[in-house]
Amino acid sequence: MRIIFAIDIIDGKCVRLEKGDLSTKKVYNGDPLDLAKQAADNGLKHLHLVDLEGAAGLKPVSFRLLEKIATRTFLAVDFGGGLRSTGDVIRAFDSGADQVTCGSIAITNPELFLTWLGKWGPEKIILGADCRDRKVVTHGWTLSSSGDIKEFAEGYVKKGISHITCTDVEKDGMLRGPALELYMELQEISGIKLIASGGISALKHIEELALSGCDGAIIGKAIYEGRISLNELGRLC
């Protein structure tokens, strides 16, 4: 299972939220590039870099940071947050992203999203399928759709998506454990490569996700709060 370090960015700073609520924003000391270098130095190989300003509805503004991390570390970077045009996706890849995560666009403009999938393929395009009370949420988790998360994910797997990142918003940033039951249900979908995100606070949670068959696990706040060290995660890679 891939161990993926998470860096969320607002105003060029590393932040974490609770349940996606911007009013709970906590800014952590440390330059995002330095944090990425620390992750790489400890043996991690994957980074989930999220432009929260872009996710909330503005255009992505963190391309320069993405480029710095991609050129100054050997981390494979998955970049997301506000990718809503083909130009945005091209710029993300030109800036060094190995993969991009797209969520809102898959709801608001599925035809365009599928053209990206056709152009770059399922190893480059990740579907961000985040939910609250099983309903898919978009635009930085501020809007809810009527779609059930499993039906949404299964529909896109049938259309060629393989990598899907899923966050249960109620778990995110709370350090109370991941949505293990939801992930086990989603893995009933044939062909899915599921990346779990949200709630991980201990090594045992990573072990549980690995045993459930998850393809990857994204860890952020637990690292910043000292619950899990980069060194411990590096030993799992």
Known catalytic residue: 94? Answer: no
Q: Are 234 and 44 in contact (CB under 8 A)?
A: yes
CATH number for the segment(s) 2-234: 3.20.20.70
Q: How far apart are CA 140 and CA 233, in angstroms?
A: 27
Binned at pLDDT 50, 70 and 90, residue 161 comes out as very high
Q: Which residues contact 31 (CB under 8 A, 6 or more apart)?
A: none
Q: For the purposes of burial, counting CB atoms within 10 Å of the CB of 123, is it exposed (0-12), middle (13-18) or buried (19 or more)? A: exposed
Could you tell me which residue, 29 or 228, shows the higher pLDDT?
228
CB atoms within 10 A of CB 91: 17
Q: How far apart are CA 12 and CA 213, in angstroms?
A: 34
Closest of 111, 114, 98, 107 to residue 130, by C-alpha: 107
pLDDT of 58 above 80: no
Give me the pLDDT at residue 235, please.
94
Domain segments of the chain as ranges? 2-234
pLDDT of 29 above 90: no
Catalytic residue among 78, 130, 168, 215: 130
In this structure, the dihedral spanned by the alpha carbons of residues 102, 50, 62 and 83, taken in order and rounded to 10 degrees, is: 10
Give me the pLDDT at residue 101, please.
97
Binned at pLDDT 50, 70 and 90, residue 144 comes out as confident
Binned at pLDDT 50, 70 and 90, residue 31 comes out as very high
* 3-state SS track over the chain: CEEEEEEEEECCEEEEEECCEEEEEEECCCCHHHHHHHHHHCCCCEEEEEEHHHHCCCCCCCHHHHHHHHHHCCCEEEEECCCCCHHHHHHHHHCCCCEEEECHHHHHCHHHHHHHHHHHCCCCEEEECCEECCEEEECCCCEEEEEEHHHHHHHHHHCCCCEEEEEECCCCCCCCCCCHHHHHHHCCCCCCEEEEECCCCCHHHHHHHHHHCCCEEEECHHHHCCCCCHHHHHCCC
pLDDT of 199 above 90: yes
Give me the pLDDT at residue 172, please.
86
Average pLDDT over residues 119-132: 96
Percent of the chain with pLDDT over 90: 82
Binned at pLDDT 50, 70 and 90, residue 17 comes out as confident
- When the pLDDT of each residue in the chain is averaged and rounded to a whole number, the result is 93
Average pLDDT over residues 28-46: 95
pLDDT of 55 above 90: no
Q: How far apart are CA 77 and CA 66, in angstroms?
A: 8
Give me the pLDDT at residue 78, please.
98
Could you tell me which residue, 54 or 202, shows the higher pLDDT?
202
Average pLDDT over residues 105-128: 97
Give me the pLDDT at residue 21, please.
82
Percent of the chain with pLDDT over 70: 99
Known catalytic residue: 130? Answer: yes
Give me the pLDDT at residue 56, please.
76
Give me the pLDDT at residue 22, please.
79
